[in-house]
Amino acid sequence: MNIAIVGTGYVGLVSGACFADFGHSVVCVDRETARIETLERGEVPFFEPGVAELVAKNAATGRLRFTTRLGEAVQDAGVVLLAVGTPEGEDGSADLSQIESAAVEIALHLDSRYRVIVTKSTVPVGTGQWLRQVIEQHSLQATDIDIVSNPEFLREGSAIGDFMRPDRIVIGTASGRAAELMRELYRPLYLIETPILLTDVQSAEMIKCASNAFLAMKVSFMNEIANLCDRVGADVHDVARGMGLDKRIGAKFLHPGPGYGGSCFPKDTRALAALGRRHGARQALVESTIEVNGRQRELLVQKVLDGLGGATGRVIAVLGLSFKPNTSDVREAPALYFCRALADAGARLRVFDPVAAGEAARALSDIAGQIVFAADAYDAAMGADAVVLMTEWNELRSLDLERLGALMSGRLLVDARNILDLAQVRALGFQYLCTGREQVSRAPEYV
């Protein structure tokens, strides 16, 4: 099958490489010439485990190509997937201008041959109907198209595994013809009995929005519980384990921390809240989730300020800058909020991240005079009054804490992700601050 994917960002490039690996002929399109040239050189403009190798493998076979010529890609394709950005608008709703621009250009190159236009981007409910109107309005001749919503559920850091072994495939369409074509597109997954949910376009769009909002709500709920555990002396790890053993709840997304970040949860929760307001169906739980997430970041900053007795003139090491491990994505990362807040309070920062330093340096250019990017975690800790663990990279889980402490000027160790052994850290004489178990005097013993 010939496929055109519009947009070579995270979703577009991962999807393109994976569909090519399924045996399809894929052309990835982007209007940015420099980005296409980068991909043609075999370079991937972001870090995601396994993507560079998968792109190289399928480009070498000729199944995966890159171009800036959208018209040519559309004319040769039976399926056109839209994977362009839907950034947040001023009112919190999704900005569909990139979707509209791509749709207009697609319309100008359509002929009478049948094509399926698929939205992969996260979009508000109602986008599919609007997309058809845009295409029909700008087409130069009668067209034969169907609109499909096929939302992605890729987690940064494990995107290839999520694509190749998904929990489910959601296909929203009113057309049996389009549904069969989409089944063929995902034939390798159909053969391994991956659940495929066929529904209407609006429901598929809502599934994506609701799924992300629910997971974000789960994160915020656990952070609220963790804060309460600190007050009453409970261990949030034991609480989370006890909750997670209930199959109705499940164990995932019950780990407390400094709040969610990234390209999806912050934007998608605000977009769903905005959609609810626009349709007179306020999403109160989603709005509370957003509020709790913002407050969790503020609580961490205050915890460090209280532990140090103020930040003016203090040196603070921040370990981990990406919003989660195994990605270079720093969009709305809690670590960036934390760095700015501490810099505003007068601190000097020494920071380290295994892969996201470049992205973080660009994002934190406004405080460049107060921040030093270190070569590793120990370099960051040199002369630090406090060390704060912000991202649970594997290499930060196994730090030599004695070495770390010897390099520091102070003894404050703040573990925003609860990745260190509580008993070990306290035995080494650190002033250890974590989340949801600060009054716990023992390390949990799991059988």
Task: Kindly report the CATH number assigned to the domain that includes residue 11.
Answer: 3.40.50.720
Residues 11 and 123 in one domain: yes
Domain final position from 199, 227, 259 = 199
Residues 137 and 33 in one domain: yes
**Residue-level pLDDT at 447:** 47
Residue 441 domain-assigned? no
Please tell me whether residue 102 adopts helix, strand or coil conformation. helix
Residues 110 and 223 in one domain: no
C-beta separation of 236 from 269 below 8 A: no
Of the candidates 401, 341, 407, 397, the residue with the CA atom closest to the CA atom of residue 374: 407
Residues 8 and 41 in one domain: yes
DSSP-derived letter for residue 399 is -
Catalytic center residues: 264
Burial of 427 (0-12, 13-18, 19+ CB in 10 A): exposed
Residue 438 domain-assigned? no
Number of domains in the chain: 2
Residues 289 and 351 in one domain: yes
Residues 399 and 301 in one domain: yes
Q: What is the C-alpha separation between 39 and 435, in angstroms, rounded?
A: 41
Positive or negative CA dihedral for 193, 197, 201, 202? negative
| Residue 349, φ and ψ in degrees, nearest 5 | -115, 140
Residues 146 and 248 in one domain: no
pTM beyond 0.85? yes
Tokens of residue 56, six digits: 């190289």
**Residue-level pLDDT at 36:** 96
Residues 249 and 125 in one domain: no
Residue 440 domain-assigned? no
Residue 444 domain-assigned? no
Please tell me whether residue 388 adopts helix, strand or coil conformation. strand
| Residue 348, φ and ψ in degrees, nearest 5 | -105, 140
Domain final position from 175, 199, 223 = 199
Angle between helices 201-232 and 265-278 (to 10 degrees): 120
CA distances from 412 to 158, 191, 201, 299 (A): 33, 54, 52, 16
- Write out residues in the chain with pLDDT < 70, as ranges: 441-447
Residues 220 and 173 in one domain: no
- Encoded amino acid at 174, one letter: A
Residue 175 domain-assigned? yes
| Residue 386, φ and ψ in degrees, nearest 5 | -150, 145
Residues 299 and 410 in one domain: yes
Residues 346 and 426 in one domain: yes
CA distances from 419 to 41, 138, 290, 395 (A): 38, 54, 25, 11
Q: Beta strand pairing status for 386-389 and 412-415?
A: parallel
Residues 41 and 156 in one domain: yes
Residue-range definition of the domain harbouring residue 187: 2-199
Residue 439 domain-assigned? no
**Residue-level pLDDT at 445:** 56
Residue with tokens 């270190």: 374
Domain final position from 174, 199, 224 = 199
Half-sphere exposure of 177 (CA within 13 A, CB side): 10
C-alpha dihedral, 66 to 67 to 70 to 71, nearest 10° = -110
Of the candidates 11, 8, 17, the residue with the CA atom closest to the CA atom of residue 38: 8
Residue 425 domain-assigned? yes
Residue 317 domain-assigned? yes
